[in-house]
Amino acid sequence: KLTTNSNDVLEEIPDDFPPVSYENGESLLNPEDVAENTCLNSRPSANEGSAGGVTYEIVDVPYFGGNTNVVRYGDNTSIRFRYYGDAPIGTTYGSAFYVLMDDGSEPVIGVNDGVGIDFYLRVGGSLYDPSSIIITPIPSTNWYRIFVIGTSAAVANRTGILKGTTGSAKGFIATQFDLTNTTAPSSPIHTTGSALTRQPDSITNIGRAELFNSDEGIIDLKMILKKGDSTRRISLSDGSNTTNIELFLIPDDNKIALFFTKLGGGFVSSGLFPLGSTDWVRVRAKYKNLDFALEIGGVEVWSNTSYLMNKTNPFTVFNFALGGGSNPVFGKFKDLTIYKDITSY
């Protein structure tokens, strides 16, 4: 029975541990976990890039659990910038951070410096995709989380926030920088030193052989899906999209299906079933050759005894996404348990 994973070490957690939530990339972990699990904004190291015209402070931010390292950007009397990651040339990355404007307003973000612009952004020294920007207000605060996508094409270690002399005179502070090799928003996660790039959230068997059973098992979790997406996935796989057990999610319709790759190629689908509630719903998926089932809210809605799984490679990764990392899901999840046999179904 697997209950959680911390640095690839399995451990039991108490029943009252708060759920993990992925809502537009927002992680609603304990405040101390959020503060602990992101870049803490020391002066950038050489391969993170450089900084200029900014200062470094510690500010009491209750949302992040208290004293928080921040980068302060002043007014528009000089050019100010802070880079925070290495995006190899030719690669597409997601860049995210939290910002608080001095006047508490929603930031005005530009592709370049300009009249009325509070600041502008770069990914690998290049312009970001304006259509990709997501500005998420943090409830009961004046903080915002910013997420953009860009393809690094100029200078790999110039990903960051810049403020010019033409834009607004408003100052602001920024914190919790995150640079991710994915094109969808991800929850903040701890990074060490300048190693700011990471894969989407997953549990792997690194350092522990046969963490998952490729022959049989049960995926058991509770969820609340976040509307705003057509197709999202949760999977147990070999790290690709060709050998997996998959929960196929339609958040906008609050529906779910069980998918798996079958021997000989192709997928088997249970068909879509409603979760039946916008509150916490328990979902269980059973997999074994000639014995598959999907249960929602304690009721078995589908079963199949006709197919064999494609098991070319063993299961090594549990993802809140497809095995290859695409189609990441946003919502709230708790009580995740992965069983290595089906006896408890």
DSSP readout, 221-258?
A: EEEEEPSS-S-EEEEEESSSSSSEEEEEEEGGGTEEEE
* pLDDT given at position 95: 84
Q: Express each pLDDT in 254-288 by its tens digit.
A: 899 999 988 888 889 999 999 988 888 999 999 99
Integer Cα distance of 97 and 101 in angstroms:
13
Position 343 pLDDT exceeds 60: yes
Integer Cα distance of 104 and 107 in angstroms:
9
**pLDDT confidence band for 192 (50 / 70 / 90):** very low
Average pLDDT over the chain, rounded to an integer = 77
List the alpha helices (DSSP H) in the chain: 31-36
Position 36 pLDDT exceeds 60: no
**pLDDT confidence band for 187 (50 / 70 / 90):** low
Position 116 pLDDT exceeds 90: yes
Q: Express each pLDDT in 288-306 by its tens digit.
A: 999 999 999 999 999 999 9
Rg of the chain (C-alpha set): 22
Position 2 pLDDT exceeds 70: no
Position 195 pLDDT exceeds 70: no
Order of all β-strands in the sheet with 172-180: 54-61, 66-73, 172-180, 92-101, 144-151, 134-137
Tokens for 67?
Answer: 């004293």
* Average pLDDT, integer, range 7-33: 38
Inter-residue contact 327 to 259 (CB < 8 Å): no
